[in-house]
Amino acid sequence: MCGLTGFLKADAFHPREELARLVARMSVTLAHRGPDDAGHWCDPEHGVALGHRRLAIVDVSAAGHQPMQSPGGRYVMVFNGEIYNHLQLRRELGGDRQRLPWRGGSDTETLLAGFEEWGVAATVERAIGMFALAVWDRQATTLTLARDRIGEKPLYYGWQGQGRARAFLFGSELKALRAHPAFEDVVDRGALCLQMRHGYIPAPYSIYTNVFKLPPGCLLTLAAPFREHALSAYWSAAGQMADGVDRPFRGSPQQAVEALDVLLRDAVGAQMVADVPLGAFLSGGVDSSTVTALMQAQSPRPVKTFSIGFFESDFNEAHHAKAVARHLGTDHTELYVTAAQARDVVPALQDSYDEPFSDSSQLPTMLVSRLARRHVTVALSGDAGDELFCGYNRYQFVDALWQKISAAPLPLRRLAARGITGVSVDAWNRAARVLGPGLPRAMRFQNTGDKLHKGAQVMTSASLDALYLGLVSHWEHPEALVRGGSEPPTALNGNAPGLDALGGLQRMMALDLLTYLPDDILVKVDRAAMGVSLETRVPLLDHRVVEFAWRLPQSYKLRDGVTKWVLRQVLYRYVPPALIERPKMGFGIPVGDWLRGPLREWGEALLAQPRLEDEGFLEPGLVRRCWTEHLSGQRNWQYPLWNVLMFQAWLAQRRAGPRAQPAPDMAAQLTGAVS
């Protein structure tokens, strides 16, 4: 796990010293991703510079230093990630030392040898792992960027600057691109619309104009005369989904359980290879417990596991994790933190996430990453089980809801919705207070008007996709909020490729795998962990597991109302069901209450009307109305407001300049009950 960056500036010869100075300035911004080593490589003739920061995981010796050249000197590469099958690739390359005198044991060296033997694209297709890389072909004068199949590792790129200052920039994080003098620092208001809707910015967009995220499973090539780049996919998640439906698994449910057990054991075992201390995040849920159980089954010593606990019972799962850890015999560490300690993390969010990002579970994720980094350098995570095995409750809810509301004609539903929204939220609440005592208990709600208005929006959905988009949107109409903003196309707003053959439940899972998983969940974990120089690995995203999951019949995932059925059966070979079976709990925090209490002053400063007017990005009247309604308890605007607040805080940090990066042992500053 590392950080990479670089640029190509092909308008004229550039002195080596100038290239080295610029790329070093970009690389130093990524020191948190790679505190163990740093390096750069420059080609003055073509204006190419590659920079690297290293977190040494496999082959911690100097033989793993980057940038690294291939055996014949043709390719020079910077690489971030892990290739779990790199020893197998070495054997395929004829890895006896007479043919290939390996300098060390790093997967970087393996990839470079593969490039010379098979070419860049063919080598990437053979690789099993998580990665982002940039490789310069000195013979063909071609720059290639590549990203792993699901998008575990980040990679940004884009042309910036004008005239002779124009340069193609790339890097693991946006802060590296910002350090180059050609960077233009222009906010993309369309991308801001997406952030307001979802709480994250889906690939290929970024918060900056003309800066993009390389989509998962893609290669980008830039060849002389370096005016245009070409994108190509070497693996397609949408294609694998369609293929899985066309070629379903034909075995029995028990055969599926056995096959998944074998596949997951292999994936987990491969991801346990490291030359540094290794552990796992453990929440006590199905996904993290499965990964931990399979780790412990293959480890000769207790696996180190880590959990964060909260004193508020509605948000605490630590006792469940502790019970699973005790049963498996892991070396378990838990840290109970107060709400005040969690809130203290808020000012550090913008440096870690680098563009507006507002999944509030980023706070506990940062806390558990800091805790784990005190003991290990690598942590395995259970992410992706919900998207692959139908784990989110919203899938069943939306499917059932659509079957009910679609029975009524759309014009009739729209007429009813207009009738509901024609009465103000306040008026509905007053009516509920008058009529409430006479209504059955099941029909008494808090914030009745808020719920009725939200229900009215649902009623106007023209399709299941539209219904799902509405329910996963924080701001239903972000163009009304963002001044001059127009929402660009995404997989969620009608531009999802190749999903026509999928049923309703499958479509929602597919959309999450294409958007929410890589652009929210994986971003959240990567930035939180790498902010403290911790590598995270996600065994469920081994692409062989993903492909197998999509071949399984839907009835093997959702069975008699039980979510993730086939994954649960694997887990129950190692952990009793009684330790796992309970209502699903999200990894969340009480943002709504905090905004009315201890974060109110912070929020008020960021949402002050004169400030909003001066900045010119958001409609002050709309923001202030929502803020006032939330503070009064009239409506719950916690998620829309958190999106706005994270943008406002990002904007403030951008103007003030970067804060100092937290040290890897920053968790030691936390106080609480540790066991």
Tell me the two tokens of residue 482: 């963002």
Tell me the two tokens of residue 61: 């010796």
Cα–Cα dist 241/580, whole Å: 29
Cα–Cα dist 389/538, whole Å: 15
Residue among 564, 488, 502 nearest 238 (CA): 502
Tell me the two tokens of residue 614: 């001066």
Task: Tell the residue number behind the tokens 């892990």, with chain if given.
Answer: 82
- Sequence-distant (≥ 6) Cβ neighbours of residue 646 within 8 angstroms: 199, 349, 350, 356, 357, 358
The secondary structure element, H or E, covering residue 627 is helix 620-632
Residues 185, 461: contact at Cβ < 8 Å? Answer: no
Cα–Cα dist 52/76, whole Å: 12
Cα–Cα dist 450/457, whole Å: 11
Selecting among 2, 193, 218, 626, the annotated active-site residue is: 2
- Sequence-distant (≥ 6) Cβ neighbours of residue 403 within 8 angstroms: none
Residues 384, 268: contact at Cβ < 8 Å? Answer: no
Tell me how many degrees the CA angle 498-502-504 measures, rounded to the nearest 5.
130
> What angle, 0 to 180 degrees and rounded to 10, lies between the N-to-C axes of helices 464-471 and 504-511?
40
Cα–Cα dist 367/672, whole Å: 12
- Tell me if residue 390 is catalytic: no
Cα–Cα dist 442/283, whole Å: 32
Residues 4, 134: contact at Cβ < 8 Å? Answer: yes
Q: How is the beta sheet containing 68-69 ordered, strand by strand?
A: 68-69, 75-83, 129-137, 142-147, 218-223, 229-233
Residue type at 287 in one-letter notation: D
SS3 letters for 432-464? HHHHHHHCCHHHCCCCHHHHHHHHHHHHCCCCH
Q: What is the CB-side half-sphere exposure of residue 605 using CA atoms within 13 A?
A: 6
Q: Give long-range contacts, CB 8 A cutoff, 24+ apart: 613-616.
A: 615/651, 616/483
DSSP states of 130-162: EEEEEEEETTTTEEEEEE-SS--S--EEEEESS
Cα–Cα dist 672/257, whole Å: 40
Residue among 525, 555, 208 nearest 353 (CA): 525
Strand partners for 309? 336
Classified as helix, coil or strand, 134 is strand
Q: How is the beta sheet containing 331-337 ordered, strand by strand?
A: 535-537, 378-380, 278-281, 304-310, 331-337, 673-674
SS3 letters for 381-418? CCCCHHHHHCCCHHHHHHHHHHHHHCCCCHHHHHHHHH
Strand partners for 456? none
Cα–Cα dist 428/421, whole Å: 10
Task: Tell the residue number behind the tokens 């009239």, with chain if given.
Answer: 634
The secondary structure element, H or E, covering residue 129 is strand 129-137
Classified as helix, coil or strand, 538 is coil
Cα–Cα dist 433/307, whole Å: 42
Q: Which residues are catalytic?
A: 2
